[in-house]
Amino acid sequence: MTYNVDEKGYYGSFGGAYIPEMLYPNVEELRQQYLKIIEEDSFQEEFNELLSDYVGRPTPLYFAKRLSEKYGAKIFLKREDLNHTGAHKVNNTIGQILLAKRLGKQKIIAETGAGQHGVATATVCALMGMECIVYMGALDMERQQPNVERMRILGTKVVPAHSGNKTLKDATNEAMRHWINHPVDTHYIIGSVVGPHPYPDMVARFQSVISEEMKAQLLEKTGGEDPDYIIACVGGGSNAAGAFYHYLDKKDVKLIAVEAAGKGVDTDESAATTALGNPGVLHGSKTLLMQTEDGQVIEPYSISAGLDYPGIGPVHAHLFESGRAHFYSATDSEAMEAGLLLSKLEGIIPAIESAHALAGLEFIEFKSDDVVVLNLSGRGDKDLGTYIKWGGY
């Protein structure tokens, strides 16, 4: 069993490039070029230098002592929240903007949910002096107002998506339509391991720096590269894909993905794709998808804008179906409580997305010597409004 993408762009039966002909030349150009460009020495040099000097990598692997005591295991936090711009998203946008430049593109578009990917894209566009438009669901623009202003300060135009639930799915539709209308000079920086091949693989490669660093850091701190568990939240699945990447073939490392259950998987308001979805095609790939019997995509719900998506990346659909990764889902309140707990125990206010991964700690029975790495994908600054509204602290 392989967990990497095959020559046709599939992970098992998931993936592919289900795109209208209008996007074919762009996606095909990417497919032909991405590996060649990423593997060039000059690309790697520039990428690594920016990750280190601009983003602040490597991010620490922090032994969370009080959290460990609470759950009876050795819990390490991979501090992606300490990246410049506050989340793992920037690993990918740095990679993609360098790629876009080498493809001769002058303009950048992106979709965003929580605004973290939008901010990370706006940031690298400012850095490279490129024009940038970010599509964002009108509802998300309200939920994540500080990030909207951040993007604007960085010189990006933020365009509201008014269709559907006015969240991430709709922003992605609008970004794809924009790309159809501007195929020649524009590169679309997708923010997760979703979209047509080669996006899922490309984004996973840029995020794989997370598990690459983990290996060395674990070796130093525990004497071995392999933890017993890696836990990450899954919206589209990019932080999880990066945290799992170098461990996919190491069977002894248990991979735990936590989705957003919203108000509960048995309510109409959820975003737990593996619990509620079945195979379908959205945004260019075949994957697990929340949909009606008639094949209409169901509007998801989560308190966390970054997890409010009706699908997951095809790699995760494959990890789920093959049983390689174990999927849990955490409700709004389980996540909020876990977020508040980390704040009190460790002095770290996590992004509400990452708080879902933290809630996952409740679902697992650990042995006291288990080494657990929890990918803390982002910080909670953008979520202060939601924390304040939630209360209970």
Partner 1 sequence: MNTIIEKSNRLDKVFEEKKDHVLSVYFSAGFPGLNDTAVILEYLQEAGADIIEIGIPFSDPIADGPTIQQSNQQSLDNGMSLKLLFSQLQGIRSKIDTPIILMGYVNPVLQYGIEDFCKDCQKVGVDGLILPDLPMQEYMEEYKTLFDQYGLYNIFLITPQTSEQRIKEIDANTNGFIYMVSSASTTGAKSGIATEQIEYFERVKTMQLKNPTMIGFGISNHETFAKACDYASGAIIGSAFIKLLSESTDLKTDINKFIKSIRNND
Ligand X SMILES: Cc1ncc(COP(=O)(O)O)c(C=O)c1O
- Out of 239, 287, 291, 331, point to the residue binding ligand X (CB under 6 A): 239
Give how far Cα 267 sits from Cα of 164, 270, 302, 372, Å. Answer: 19, 7, 12, 31
Site string for partner 1, 186-225 (x = CB under 8 A): ----------------------------------------
Residue 1 CA, distance from chain mean position: 24
d(CA 291, CA 280): 8
* Residue 313-352 contact track with ligand X, rule CB under 6 A, x = bound: --------------------------------------x-
- Residue 87 contact, options partner 1, ligand X, none, Cβ 5-8 Å cut-off depending on partner type: ligand X
Size of the site for ligand X (CB under 6 A): 21
Q: x/- binding map, residues 93-132, to ligand X, per CB under 6 A?
A: --------------------xx-xx---------------
Q: Which does 353 bind (CB under 5 to 8 A by kind): partner 1, ligand X, none?
A: ligand X
Site for partner 1 in 129-168 (CB under 8 A): 163-164
Q: Which of 133, 289, 338, 340 binds partner 1 (CB under 8 A)?
A: 289
Question: Could you tell which of partner 1, ligand X, none binds residue 68, using a CB distance below 5 to 8 A set by kind?
Answer: none
> Which of partner 1, ligand X, none does residue 377 bind (CB under 5 to 8 Å by kind)?
ligand X
3-state SS class at 261: strand
Residue with smaller CB distance to partner 1, 155 or 164? 164
161, 136 contact by CB (below 8 A):
yes
Q: Which stretch binds partner 1 (CB under 8 A): 93-101, 122-130, 263-271, 283-291?
A: 283-291
Q: 30 vs 102, 103, 104, 109, 245, CA distance in Å?
A: 11, 8, 12, 15, 21
**Least distance between partner 1 and beta carbon 285 (Å):** 10
Alpha-carbon distance 180 to 186, whole Å? 10
Query: Closest Cα to residue 169, out of 111, 119, 118?
Result: 111
105 near partner 1, rule: CB under 8 A: no
H helix runs in the chain, sequence order: 24-39, 41-50, 65-71, 89-102, 116-128, 138-143, 145-153, 168-181, 199-207, 209-222, 238-244, 273-276, 314-321, 332-346, 352-359, 384-390
Catalytic annotation, pick one of 68, 74, 105, 111: 111
295 belongs to the binding site for partner 1 (CB under 8 A):
yes
Phi-psi region of 105 (alpha: psi -120 to 50; beta: other; left: phi over 0): beta
**C-alpha to C-alpha distances, 195 to 49, 104, 169, 199, nearest whole angstrom:** 28, 21, 11, 6
Q: Is 111 known to be catalytic?
A: yes
Residue 117 interaction partner, one of ligand X, partner 1, none, beta carbon < 5-8 Å per kind: ligand X
Nearest-approach distance from CB 119 to partner 1, in angstroms = 24
Considering CB distances under 5 to 8 angstroms, the limit depending on partner class, which of partner 1, ligand X, none binds residue 18? partner 1
Rounded Cα distance, 185 and 108, in Å: 9
Structure tokens at 272: 């737990």
Nearer to ligand X, 108 or 204 (CB): 204
279 binds, among partner 1, ligand X, none (CB under 5 to 8 A by kind): partner 1
Q: Is 134 left (phi over 0), alpha (psi -120 to 50) or beta?
A: beta
Phi/psi zone of residue 374: left (φ > 0), alpha (ψ -120 to 50 degrees), beta?
beta
Find the binding residues for ligand X in span 353-372 (CB under 6 A).
Answer: 353-354
Q: How far apart are CA 195 and CA 164, in angstroms?
A: 19
Please give the structure tokens belonging to residue 31.
């497919």
Catalytic residues: 89, 111, 377
| Site residues (vs partner 1, CB under 8 A) | 8, 16-22, 24-25, 163-164, 169, 173, 176-177, 180-184, 279-284, 289, 291, 293-297
| Site residues (vs ligand X, CB under 6 A) | 87, 113-114, 116-117, 192, 233-240, 306-307, 351, 353-354, 377-378
